[in-house]
A and B are shown apart, each in its own frame.
Chain A
Amino acid sequence: MLELKNVNFSADGKHILKDISFKLGAGKFIAITGPNGSGKSTLAKVIMGIEKPESGQIFFNGEDVTNYTIDQRARMGISFGFQQPVRFKGITVHDLLNLSAKEKLSSKDACNILATVGLCANSYLDREVNASLSGGELKRIEIASVITRGTALTIFDEPEAGIDLWSFNNLIRVFNEMREKLAGSIIVISHQERILNIADEIVLLSEGRIAKIVPHGEPLESFIPVQDVRTCCKL
């Protein structure tokens, strides 16, 4: 359902994504991991259309979407969960969920969605999605706004970041439900071992290249070497 062919991306003179190619089948869950600065978030943004590759192609359900805008891709069935949730003055949690759902959700429906991410609707529906919410609350609302859409492909950029009060079990349950109920494909950018462990495949990025694609079940230590950073300093 998703295929990247020889995707390259540069910014500020730096070659960030180098000749990225991979395929994601329907209903599959892949985790993209790698060191900081390896290009993980950029790759996610390129798939969503937030960043434009300088070369290469992106196919979604067989259609070349390389030059499609963000909203065109969204309407085709791609969703994106931001690492740093965006804040809005005046737009409430209920408003955001309505926009995501493309309909006016009843309080009960909105409540069910928020419960999925561990929030009580009574306390949140009428609150603005602004700085009065904590980072963890904003992150859960961001995830809620994404899962509300129920699209064929959902991309999460480090969904675990900032949700320390919410257990990983819930996050993993959300992923599993998305796969079961929607038969949706999921791409998760993550460093978390528990998320990597439930992926069908792990794509390891290193310095903008795919260093390795590892099937489910292979021990992480075998392909993510532990590096002593002190060696970089050459002291």
Chain B
Amino acid sequence: MDKVVLDKFDSALLKAVADLDNMPTGAFSLRRNGQPVKVNITPNINIIPKKDKPGIDIYVRADTKGETVHIPVVITESGINDVVYNDFYIGKNADVIINAGCGIHNDGCNDTHHNGIHRFFLDEGSKVLYVEKHYGEGDGSGKRVLDPVTEVHMGKNSSCEMRTTQIKGVDSTIRTTNAVIGDGASLVITEKIMTHGDQLAETNFKVDLDGFDSKVQVTSRSIATENSTQKFVSNVNGNNQCFGHVECDAIIKDHGKVISIPEITANCVDANLIHEAAIGKIAGEQIIKLMTIGLTESEAESEIINGFLK
């Protein structure tokens, strides 16, 4: 498992999902075609393969600062159905970045699935930035399917920011995120999704604001083009003095369809919950403004979309 040779598809996918030109330094675990192929640990971050099912347990020592954990997944064999269970244990007052992502190259006629089941356990005062990109490519008729499930358990005064991006090539995704937020803890989720063709993308968020002064901010920016469909479901429960803000902004083009289903429940009189949703095509005035500074209509549209998903 020590010597890893990446082919051109592996390298392209690694670049797309993790912005990596080579194997990363520091703690990492690379998974390819349903198998772990390379693991590296540091004095502060230990990665242990699970014994009962596919996946790893990642332990970040208390007070670890400034380290990054890379856990990219690449799949280049058509027809693979990969389910992986990764648990992250973040020690007290640690501050780390977790760089995840999955890239699928499918040139075959069989569907390729990858389901990352991630659980995060944040100890008191810890801080995590989780960055995840999903990407698909390939000329085969087989679909590229990603159905991630994420659980977040946040201890007192911990904070977690999750940035998830799906820009291209994923035929179907159902993303499920469940979070339980403790006293003074703060969760920020920003998801960006662009779908085209006949793609389907569904995201479901369920957040329990259990802690006193707990906070959640969920921002979804999505663009549905051609015949694609997106569904955004958010369910935030304010069970204490807390603040929750859910914002869904979607641009639709062609025959794209977006459904936004908000649910906010205040179970405590001191809960402050907001849901905002806006769906529509690109505003004509935005295109006109950019045309007045010299961009063509298509350049203007491209800039607006790139900015929206930046």
| B293, A149: Cβ atoms closer than 8 Å | yes
Give the shortest distance, in Å, between B286 (CB) and chain A (any CB).
Answer: 6
Interface positions, chain B 46-84, Cβ under 8 Å from A, are none
Out of A71, A88, A95, name the residue touching B297 (CB < 8 Å): A71
A89-B221, A91-B307 known; A99+B293 contact, CB < 8 A: yes
> A133 within 8 Å of B by Cβ?
no
> B288 within 8 Å of A by Cβ?
yes
Out of B291, B303, B304, name the residue touching A70 (CB < 8 Å): B291
| B303, A91: Cβ atoms closer than 8 Å | yes
**Stretch in contact with the other chain, from A73-81, A165-173, A206-214:** A73-81
For A79, the chain B residues whose CB sits under 8 A away are: 292-293
| A88, B293: Cβ atoms closer than 8 Å | no
Give the shortest distance, in Å, between A38 (CB) and chain B (any CB).
Answer: 23
| B294, A91: Cβ atoms closer than 8 Å | no
A-B contact count (CB 8 A): 60
For B290, the chain A residues whose CB sits under 8 A away are: 99
For the complex, give the distance between the alpha carbons of A93 and B295 in Å. Answer: 17
| A102, B285: Cβ atoms closer than 8 Å | no
Interface positions, chain B 277-301, Cβ under 8 Å from A, are 283, 285-286, 288-297, 300
For A50, the chain B residues whose CB sits under 8 A away are: 288, 292
For the complex, give the distance between the alpha carbons of A191 and B297 in Å. Answer: 32
Chain A contact residue count (CB 8 A cutoff) = 23
> A124 within 8 Å of B by Cβ?
no
| B292, A70: Cβ atoms closer than 8 Å | yes
| A74, B303: Cβ atoms closer than 8 Å | no
Give the shortest distance, in Å, between A151 (CB) and chain B (any CB).
Answer: 9
| B296, A90: Cβ atoms closer than 8 Å | no
> B41 within 8 Å of A by Cβ?
no
> A186 within 8 Å of B by Cβ?
no
> A82 within 8 Å of B by Cβ?
yes
For the complex, give the distance between the alpha carbons of A50 and B297 in Å. Answer: 13
For A100, the chain B residues whose CB sits under 8 A away are: 293-294
For the complex, give the distance between the alpha carbons of A218 and B247 in Å. Answer: 55
Give the shortest distance, in Å, between B147 (CB) and chain A (any CB).
Answer: 27
* Residue among A74, A90, A145, A149 facing the most chain B CB atoms (10 A cut-off): A90
| B303, A99: Cβ atoms closer than 8 Å | yes
A71-B297, A86-B286 known; A91+B291 contact, CB < 8 A: no
For the complex, give the distance between the alpha carbons of A145 and B286 in Å. Answer: 14
For the complex, give the distance between the alpha carbons of A89 and B291 in Å. Answer: 17
> A113 within 8 Å of B by Cβ?
no
For A74, the chain B residues whose CB sits under 8 A away are: 291-294
Q: Could you mark each residue 44-71 of chain A with 1 if its beta carbon is under 8 Å from any beta carbon of chain B, else 0?
A: 0000101000000000000000000111
Q: Across the A-B interface, give the 8 residue pairs with the lowest CB-CB distance, nearest first.
A: A90-B307, A91-B307, A70-B291, A86-B289, A74-B294, A71-B291, A80-B292, A90-B308
Interface on A for B, CB 8 Å cutoff? 48, 50, 69-71, 74-75, 79-80, 82, 86, 88-92, 95, 99-100, 102, 145-146, 149
* 28 A-B pairs whose Cβ atoms sit less than 8 Å apart in the complex: A48-B292, A69-B291, A69-B297, A70-B288, A70-B292, A71-B294, A71-B296, A74-B294, A75-B294, A82-B289, A86-B285, A86-B289, A88-B286, A88-B304, A88-B307, A89-B221, A89-B249, A90-B307, A90-B308, A90-B310, A91-B304, A95-B303, A99-B290, A99-B295, A100-B293, A100-B294, A145-B293, A149-B293
